[in-house]
Amino acid sequence: MKKQTKEKKGIVDYVVAVVVILSITAIIYISYILFTEKFKETSYASTYADISNTEKIDNYQSSNYKVMQTEDINFNSIIEQNNKKLRKEEITKEELDIEYTTKYVENPDLPKGMLKVLQEGVVGKQEVYTKKIYEGEDLIKEESVGSKVTKSSINKLVEIGTGPYTSNYQIKVGDTLYVTASIVAIRIEPKDNANKLISLNKDEQVKLLQKKEKWYKVQYKSYVGWSKAECFTYLSPNSSKEESNGENKYTKQQLLGKLSFNMNLNEPSGLSLEQFKKIFKNESKDKNKIFENNAQYFYYAEKQYKINGVFLASVAIHESAWGTSTIALQKNNLFGYGAYDRNPYNSAYQFSNYSESIDLLGRVFVKYYLNPAGTKIYDGNKASGTYYNGPTLSGVNVRYATDKNWANGVYSWMKYLYNKL
């Protein structure tokens, strides 16, 4: 009995212990739940407060933005001014001609004033690279940064007669002609790029079949083709001297009758070689005798390139102050050719003698200024007409000179020279 009582008492104690443990556990769990809920409420309140503050900030910024909009600010003007200040650079490439130089050699065995082409001139090509700097849409600076020769030019060699006699013989169909150039091509058509039939050497003999502008149709043995007229002469290399009645001349009155401010400058003046020499002889303004000693080259330019030689001389006088400018004296450049405003002396072309500058500028005027693009000009070439605005003084003035009074200045010298005939 005693043992049984003890066992019952142990069971009761165990049950009481379990109940106590479970009660404590329940209390802890309930406390945890209550604490968690309280923490969430606090978090929600804090979050709500943050949202409320954000809205207040947004409201402030919105209000402030509205205040700024009410100020008188021209945003388009600001953007436009900023764009104008933006700088940009670009490099451009342009293909330009390299003009050949003409070399003259005197020959006393030829009639006075006669020309014989010993070597044809060939224009070269170059690629010129230019840097351009823009500020907005405005070009503020432009400078050459390099060039590359893609085809070299070949100088033209011309023999000029200085004999004590003249010849006015006019070559006609059926004449026997002689090659004056070291080598001349006979082509199937009167074009520079036409296929070549044969090449002839200096002094070879041909028969003239037809004349067409600057070309001759000739027969050489069994070959018949076209070649440049300037590469032939009627004079035999074995008997070059020939007397004649002299060169045709216009009287002073006839020549003055052609003179006007609006005359076409792509037509010869008509002055003879002697008349060109006369207008420069004993000229007091020609202090260094540059024009007197080179008068014949204005005549040769007129004869070869179909340009008014008096106009060409007048430009040289106007640009070089009668050959007294530094560029004229030190660079044999009577026209200031190639001189740019930013550095005129260094950029101006250098020539070996005055005849080269006279000849080159004669071709430059004919090729770029005095004839529209595509016009047939000297040596079978065509004018580019890059700066063509009419074949008159006013037309040349548009692109040749920035001085608007340039044409009047040149014309005053033309009148001066014509009146010295």
Yes or no: say if 116 and 107 are a contact pair by the CB < 8 Å rule: yes
Locate tokens 């004919």: which residue? 366
Contacts of 134 (CB under 8 A, 6+ apart): 87, 88, 89, 90, 140
DSSP string, 121-143: -B-EEEEEEEEEEEETTEEEEEE
Please determine, for residue 63, whether its predicted confidence score (pLDDT) is greater than 60: no
What average pLDDT does the segment 282-302 reach? 96
Q: What pLDDT sits at residue 326?
A: 94
Q: What is the pLDDT of residues 160-170, one digit of tens each?
A: 888 876 666 77
Q: What pLDDT sits at residue 262?
A: 96
Average pLDDT over the chain, rounded to an integer: 82
Q: What pLDDT sits at residue 170?
A: 78
Please determine, for residue 418, whether its predicted confidence score (pLDDT) is greater than 50: yes
What average pLDDT does the segment 295-311 reach? 95
Q: What is the pLDDT of residues 315-373, one digit of tens each?
A: 999 999 999 999 999 999 999 988 776 677 887 899 999 999 999 999 999 999 999 99
* Helices 273-280 and 295-305, axial angle in degrees (round to 10): 140
Which of these, 190, 184, 188, lies nearest to 211 by C-alpha position?
Answer: 190
Yes or no: say if 174 and 217 are a contact pair by the CB < 8 Å rule: no
The model's pTM is 0.64
What average pLDDT does the segment 124-142 reach? 86
Q: What is the pLDDT of residues 186-239, one digit of tens each?
A: 999 998 889 999 999 888 899 999 998 889 999 999 999 999 988 888 876 654
Locate tokens 């923490």: which residue? 39
d(C-alpha 353, C-alpha 224), whole Å: 40
User: For residues 85 and 360, which has the higher predicted lDDT (pLDDT)?
Assistant: 360
Give the confidence band of 52 by pLDDT, cuts at 50, 70, 90: very low
Yes or no: say if 144 and 338 are a contact pair by the CB < 8 Å rule: no
Q: What pLDDT sits at residue 56?
A: 44
Please determine, for residue 66, whether its predicted confidence score (pLDDT) is greater than 70: no
Locate tokens 């009645």: which residue? 245
Yes or no: say if 207 and 219 are a contact pair by the CB < 8 Å rule: yes
Q: Find the radius of gyration of the CA atoms of the chain.
A: 47
In the numeric block, which tokens belong to residue 109? 């065995």
